[in-house]
């Protein structure tokens, strides 16, 4: 008898549905072919706390002499709310002949089922189910291609290595630097200085942005716009500086006021210009890719001011409580091609679900979809452990949603149905002109077919594009110069992070790393943290008073700055994660061992503790941003 162990109930339901359900029972499903499908709730097990490895006195008080805490044998405990299901799986393991690991197709998915099997001391044959989606076609394909679980040992060990290293660094460094800070405290325990491989670089991201804003010095720079007239049409073109123009800064801006005045006096004398280039091209703008959790958190924050955790909570409710949307903790923007045939049914269900909310105007948008259109979002080669967040085939009463849940649901619905509208077609025109060696460039565009933008409306890219209508001109044609305007602008500081943009910054943190090797490692890892943990990390930084949110902007507190000032650079730098990822890749591929990796982490932890022990950290509550 086969026992299928899924990572979560929805995967178990999809598998049982394809095999054929005979009976639903408490914690498992009996199938018509005699097999049984059961499930986890993510990780059923968790690492023991440091107290499990310490002598009695060390359990009561944090002491320097107990550091570093290095487990000889790692202890896993069953989570308090998962004990019943853990025991159900244990009983089923005794009855089966073959086990099928149905964890998600990533390292954590491999580990969370394998660790349950190891905790139950399973000796039965284990196979591996491998699917990133729960649609019928994907599940059937995976069930017909089960692989030996042993083939994925490297993935399990890589996940285990990350888990052990995060524990070693987090637990030891937090105690070491907290104790160093308490040396200076005469009354009370003093603050907890929490250190983490992802948490601390995230805090440092915000601090760096705060300091960049604080230290920013705005400088004026000068631009020139010319108004031209040709074929009875007036249009505006921007002045293009020569490469040898004096007074330009490193970014090509004219910052010398004297040069600007001299140039303006020259430009004012121009009466006519000659067209040196006239080019009109039709451009196609592809449909937006599906929502990953980070994208959705960013948009919900920008449009509604929702925190990253709030958006995740809403998505979790839409998924678990209402079953209206797919699994939310996804870092993927793509969909399996096998799901394309479900579009017609999903759109029909959406029409039914949203029929009573006419004020949203979605009925017309749904009626005008073309389910046969296959956008770039449907791409098997780019689907990871979970596909993009989309509406499901669940019929439901949308009036039961809160206004906040409805807002997020509509975002997901609109992004999905935009896949079944044509690409947006735009006629883009560029005109280059020259007068007495001075050059100008004009650009404009006309939407020929709005396509999917009927659903999504204008996006941020549209705000920056020229929307003026340009005349049809010919190369060599003379045009009149009506006037020249000088415009003084000022450089602006970078924007403070919102929770939404901070989530995206964590995902794209490779952009702040210079070393090509580590930059690539961070790109491969999709940044620091995961789609499932980033919101919780931000929430934890807020809870510990390391960051605060004011008017939707995230800033580091005095306590947060004090912590960062005390820590060595490597702990604050995402390069640590990049180094981790490079080593984890080697473990996964079999080119390095878990034991070697842990030995390096232990050595690193000892160095951190030595540094902390040699310090007396002063928490400066007067420090300002």
Q: What is the DSSP string of 217-250?
A: ---EEEEEEEEEEETTEEEEEEEE--TT-TTB-T
Residue among 284, 390, 395, 270 nearest 334 (CA): 390
Distance separating alpha carbons of residues 126 and 96, to the nearest angstrom: 11
How far apart, in Å, are the Cα atoms of 441 and each of 362, 427, 430, 525?
40, 17, 7, 41
322 an active-site residue?
no
Residue 95 phi, psi dihedral angles, 5° rounding: -90, -25
Distance separating alpha carbons of residues 336 and 388, to the nearest angstrom: 9
The 8-class DSSP code of residue 547 comes to E
Longest dimension (CA), the chain: 93
**Helix and strand counts by DSSP (H, E) for the chain:** 22, 17
How far apart, in Å, are the Cα atoms of 592 and each of 148, 157, 583?
21, 10, 7
User: Could you tell me which residues come within 8 angstroms of residue 218 by beta carbon, excluding any fewer than 6 positions away?
Assistant: 490, 491, 492, 493
564, 568, 569, 573 alpha-carbon torsion, rounded to 10° = -70
Distance separating alpha carbons of residues 211 and 555, to the nearest angstrom: 10
User: Could you tell me which residues come within 8 angstroms of residue 255 by beta carbon, excluding any fewer than 6 positions away?
Assistant: 219, 220, 221, 222, 247, 248, 249
Q: Which ranges of 380-526 would DSSP assign to H, the alpha helix?
A: 403-417, 453-456, 460-463, 499-507, 516-524
Pair 470, 233: CB distance under 8 Å: yes
3-state secondary structure of 609: helix
Q: Which residue among the candidates 239, 306, 319, 327 is catalytic per the annotation?
A: 327
Is-cis flag, bond preceding 253, omega within 30?
A: no
Reported as type and span, the H/E element at residue 582 is helix 575-589
What are the residue numbers of the active site?
Answer: 327
């Amino acid at each position: 008898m086969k026992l299928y162990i899924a990572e979560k109930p929805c995967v178990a339901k999809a598998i049982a549905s394809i095999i054929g359900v005979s009976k639903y029972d408490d914690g498992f499903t009996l199938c018509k072919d005699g097999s049984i499908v059961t499930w986890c709730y993510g990780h059923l097990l968790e690492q023991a706390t440091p107290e499990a490895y310490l002598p009695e006195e060390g359990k009561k008080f944090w002491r320097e002499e107990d550091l570093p805490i290095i487990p000889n044998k790692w202890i896993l405990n069953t989570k308090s709310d998962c004990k019943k299901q853990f025991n159900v799986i244990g009983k089923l393991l005794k009855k089966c002949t073959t086990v099928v690991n149905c964890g998600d197709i990533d390292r954590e998915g491999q580990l969370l089922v394998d660790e349950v099997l190891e905790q139950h001391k399973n000796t039965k044959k284990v196979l591996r189910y491998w699917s990133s989606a729960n649609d019928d076609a994907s599940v059937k394909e995976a069930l017909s291609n089960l692989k030996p679980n042993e083939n994925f040992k490297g993935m399990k060990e890589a996940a285990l290595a990350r888990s052990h290293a995060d524990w070693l660094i987090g637990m030891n460094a937090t105690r070491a630097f907290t104790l160093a800070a308490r040396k200076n405290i005469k009354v009370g325990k003093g603050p907890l200085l929490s250190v983490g491989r992802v948490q601390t670089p995230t805090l440092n991201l915000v601090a760096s942005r705060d300091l960049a804003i604080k230290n920013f010095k705005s400088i004026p720079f000068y631009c020139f716009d010319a108004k031209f007239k040709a074929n009875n049409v007036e249009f505006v073109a921007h002045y293009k500086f020569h490469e040898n123009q004096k007074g330009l800064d490193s970014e090509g801006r004219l910052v010398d006021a004297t040069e600007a005045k001299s140039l303006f006096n020259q430009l004012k004398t121009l009466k006519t210009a000659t067209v040196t280039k006239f080019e009109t091209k039709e451009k196609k703008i592809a449909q937006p890719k599906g929502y990953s959790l980070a994208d959705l958190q960013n948009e919900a924050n920008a449009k509604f001011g929702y925190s990253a955790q709030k958006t995740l909570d809403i998505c979790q409710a839409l998924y678990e409580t209402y079953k209206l949307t797919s699994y939310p903790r996804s870092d993927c923007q793509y969909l399996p091609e096998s799901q394309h045939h479900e579009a017609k049914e999903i759109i029909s269900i959406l029409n039914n679900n949203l029929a009573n909310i006419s004020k949203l105007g979605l009925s017309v948008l749904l009626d005008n979809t073309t389910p046969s259109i296959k956008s770039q979002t449907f791409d098997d080669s780019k689907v990871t452990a979970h596909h993009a967040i989309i509406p499901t085939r669940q019929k439901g009463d949308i009036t039961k949603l809160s206004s906040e849940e409805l807002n997020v649901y509509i975002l997901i619905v609109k992004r999905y149905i935009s896949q079944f509208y044509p690409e947006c077609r735009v006629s883009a025109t560029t005109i280059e002109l020259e007068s007495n060696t001075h050059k100008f460039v004009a650009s404009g565009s006309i939407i020929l077919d709005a396509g999917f933008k009927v659903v999504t409306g204008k996006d941020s890219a549209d705000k920056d594009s020229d929307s003026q209508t340009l005349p049809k001109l010919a190369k060599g044609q003379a045009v009149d110069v009506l006037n020249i305007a000088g415009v003084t602008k000022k450089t602006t500081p970078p924007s403070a992070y919102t929770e939404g943009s901070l989530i995206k910054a964590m995902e794209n943190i490779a952009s702040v790393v210079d070393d090509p090797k580590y930059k690539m490692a961070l790109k491969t890892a999709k940044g620091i943290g995961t789609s499932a943990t980033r919101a919780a990390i931000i929430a934890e930084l807020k809870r510990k008073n390391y960051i605060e949110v004011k008017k939707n902007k995230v800033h580091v507190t005095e306590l947060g700055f004090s912590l960062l000032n005390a820590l060595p650079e490597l702990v604050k730098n995402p390069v640590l994660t990049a180094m981790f990822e490079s080593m984890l890749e080697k473990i996964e591929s079999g080119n390095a061992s878990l034991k070697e990796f842990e030995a390096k982490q232990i050595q690193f932890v000892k160095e951190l503790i030595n540094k902390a022990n040699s310090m007396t950290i002063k928490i400066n509550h007067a420090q300002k941003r």
